[in-house]
Amino acid sequence: MPASRIIAAAVCCVSTFGVAQAEEYSVVDAATLPHDLAPWGMFLHADVVVKAVMVGLIAASLFTWTICIAKNVELWRAKRRARQQIALVNKSHILREASERLGSSREPVACLAVAAANELSTSSRSDPAALKERISWLLERIEVAANRRMGRGMGIVASIGATAPFVGLFGTVWGIMNSFIGISHAHTTNLAVVAPGIAEALLATALGLFAAIPAVVVYNAFARSVGGYRQLLGDAIALVMRLVSRECEEPANTHFRAAE
């Protein structure tokens, strides 16, 4: 048989095999590819574990934004009331006057003034240094409690910011594992068969970053805001201690005026 006929027969066989492979790939692609490659469509076609990861990340993101809005409103109100009450304490000359100006408010600044006034009224003023030390301890504990109450929920936000990327990465790894399992079942390495599974897996990573980045930003911004609120409480403590010091000096001043 001439060499030209052999080559022609080989080319014909390769062409036939290529057409058969193309038909096989097209059949596999049609059966394997999801009809919708939008995020919602990829979510619906994802594995159960990947779906659970995505739902958890979306819930974490919603929690972060809820905490962000609620804490911003709470902190704004707390700062506004603290400034108002600090102005009232600053106008007062004695603790009793400051307590009357603040009324029955349960805000931290009012609690600072009331605690100092109660300790001052129930203690003898024979040892002003010990009295000031006791009042300082009370005011410090009230400040710590107020800061702890203001920081509730932010530990969860910090945890979301730290762990969400790894949770998304877990969903990605799981999805890619399923994609390779699909390759072994389909007996083909066609990229069109692998691509949808990889896209679904990468969607989990994207959601992890979507949950983590705002959580980190919210936590850092809130930490700065809480630092400002802590400074306001520190100013309030300084004003209350000034009134305490002024009242501790009253007996000595009275004795000095009587001697004159």
pTM for the predicted model, two decimal places = 0.69
Distance CA 150, CA 146 (A): 6
Q: Which DSSP category does 125 fall into?
A: S
Q: What is the pLDDT along the chain (260 residues), one digit of tens a residue?
A: 454 443 344 334 434 434 334 444 444 444 444 445 566 666 666 678 888 888 999 999 999 999 999 999 999 999 999 999 999 888 888 888 888 888 778 888 888 888 888 888 887 777 788 888 888 898 999 899 998 888 888 889 999 999 999 999 988 888 888 777 777 776 666 666 666 667 777 888 889 999 999 999 999 999 898 889 999 999 999 999 888 888 877 654 443 333 34
Q: Give the DSSP letter string of 35-53.
A: S--SHHHHHHHS-HHHHHH
Ordered by start, the domain boundaries in the chain are 1-32, 37-259
**Rg for the chain, CA atoms, rounded:** 35
| Cβ atoms of 187 and 255 closer than 8 Å | no
